[in-house]
Amino acid sequence: MTPREGRFTLGVRNVIPPLFVHALGGAGHEDDYAGWGIVEFLIYANEQEQFDPSISPAEAWELAPDLSKVTFKLRRGIQFHKGYGEMTADDVVWSHNNALREGSKFWGVTGIRQYMDRWEKVDDYTAVMYFKQFEPRWELALSNLRTHQPWIGSKKAVDQLGEETANITPIGTGPYQVLSYRSREKVELEALPSHWRRTALTKRMDVVEIPEALARAAAFQAGEVDIIEVDLKLIPDLLSKVQGSRAQPGLGYAFPHTIYFPGNYWSDRNCLTGDTTGFPRPGFKPDAQHPWIGDPKDPARMESARKVRLAMAMAIDQETILRTIFGGLGEIGGTYNGFTPKDPQYKQEWTISYDPVRAKQLLTEAGYPNGFSFTFYVPPDHIVVNPEAGQAIAQMWRSIGLDPKIDNTAYAAARPRHFEGNDDIIWYHHTSAGDIDAPKAGNFGPNNTFHGVELPCDLQQLNFDNRKEPDRAKRIANNVKLQDYISQWTLAAPFVTIVDYFMVGPRIKDWKPSGKPGLYFTNPETVSLQ
């Protein structure tokens, strides 16, 4: 089957730069390369979200009985774009080891380093992944149903072009190849005449950057774009004005939009190795300029900081934000560990109720009756974060006497400070609903301090245990314990849980996205036109 004639246009917030050498990446959202059909991952799930070797570059895989490694048998005949030859074990091994290498800026490096040790070639069509520590959900972590995992890049392109040139040369094995790529502007793609996994139904695809939500909506209404990432509150108006349009939810899990309180690095050592080098962390500043940072060696300071964090959480009017900014398409609250009020394990004490009067009392009890000034980081270009919600929260904090100064540095530029214990700036990000059995404490140390918190070693142990625990019920129980601790100390403040939507225009007959979490466009090869 060959692609039908026709062209559709996707409107997005951000056309990221071409960064096709994993270790030289770090812009954030590199999963877009797969979502636009350029590159592929090692494992693919079918429409029933079952891992399917018949549609995966790895046509078979086997976990070693001692849980030390996974051996992948690769499909023969998969070709890279633009004459760069057949995909082999050299490409698979290079891609993952390159992402893992020292100094790598790959945006998922801290996550994969928690469980991936190295990859080795056995022969041209056999590759082995060795575990640093066993990851019980390794298939999911390497599949098209997740984010932050390496795709399969062309080692031959790097060898021939050099890293710097290969980095800006879009080469993959996906159903679409790049005709032109203009960062922060437009990507033009053309379907391959045939593709080993699934030949695209539409010949051409354009991805255009339209940063502002209202501008994207206007372009959609005018018929200039066919599918857009949409702010939820704009959906009713667009449905009424664009006949034949529809709002299509993302199929991945929902996101609790969350406030984090960085600087609470409460471990005095690396909990895996016992090494005290680098402790205390650079961002551990329990001083007058950081009232939300507690000190485990000072009980009075720990309690004062807890009250500050709780006060800030209680000052957030979740219902108003949900209704006015997210169009009511979600639910109030959430948890860091993914539990929602619909889950039987959910505890009512995990819910933080809106109470600005009590929030002011807590600030007074903590020793800050007149409030304090602080920096509040709101990413302006993150795929989940809604800057308008950040502005609203800042105003709610002002109403209880606080003085937030908003930092809206581009996400890619600000992201490095979230690692290695450097961060001491309150920020707005997200966590994930669902996956309540997943190892959830990985962002709380020691290899990753992404959310600006490092838990004591007994709490980190719950994460280590979940990475080798085969019993799902026990993994869930561990996450309940972890959530009890996070809620007790208000280390994260989820305020609304949102499922993101796309607006799909009348020219689009059908589109079957995958269950990838978040507002990621996926499966362009399934788009068909009227």
Would the pLDDT of 391 be above 70? yes
Minimum mean pLDDT among 334-338, 385-389, 468-472: which range?
468-472
Report residue 179's pLDDT band, with 50, 70 and 90 as the boundaries: very high
- By the 8 A CB rule, do 212 and 15 touch? no
Peptide linkage before 446 cis (omega within 30 of 0): yes
- By the 8 A CB rule, do 483 and 333 touch? no
Give the mean pLDDT of the chain.
94
pTM: 0.80
Closest CA to 32 of 172, 234, 241, 222: 172
pLDDT confidence of residue 3: 67
- Those residues whose C-beta lies under 8 Å from the C-beta of residue 104, and which sit 6 or more positions away, are 22, 23, 98
The CA R_g of the chain, rounded to the nearest whole Å, is 23
pLDDT confidence of residue 340: 87
Taken in order 26, 282, 444, 263, is the CA torsion positive or negative? negative
How remote is the C-alpha of 375 from its chain's centroid?
A: 23
What is d(CA 185, CA 178) in angstroms, rounded to the nearest whole number?
A: 14
Report residue 251's pLDDT band, with 50, 70 and 90 as the boundaries: low
Report residue 1's pLDDT band, with 50, 70 and 90 as the boundaries: low
What are the phi and psi torsion angles at 392 (to 5°)? -65, -40
What are the phi and psi torsion angles at 442 (to 5°)? -60, -25
Instruction: Give the 3-state secondary structure of residue 174.
Output: coil
Q: Is 488 exposed, middle or buried (0-12, 13-18, 19+ CB in 10 A)?
A: exposed
The structural domains of the chain, ordered by start, are: 1-16+183-252+500-530 (3.40.190.10), 38-155 (3.90.76.10), 255-498 (3.10.105.10)
DSSP state of 3: P
The pLDDT tens digits for 301-319 are 999 999 999 999 999 999 9
Instruction: Give the 3-state secondary structure of residue 433.
Output: coil
Would the pLDDT of 2 be above 70? no
CA angle 427, 487, 403 (to 5 degrees): 35
The encoded tokens of residue 322 equal 């949900």
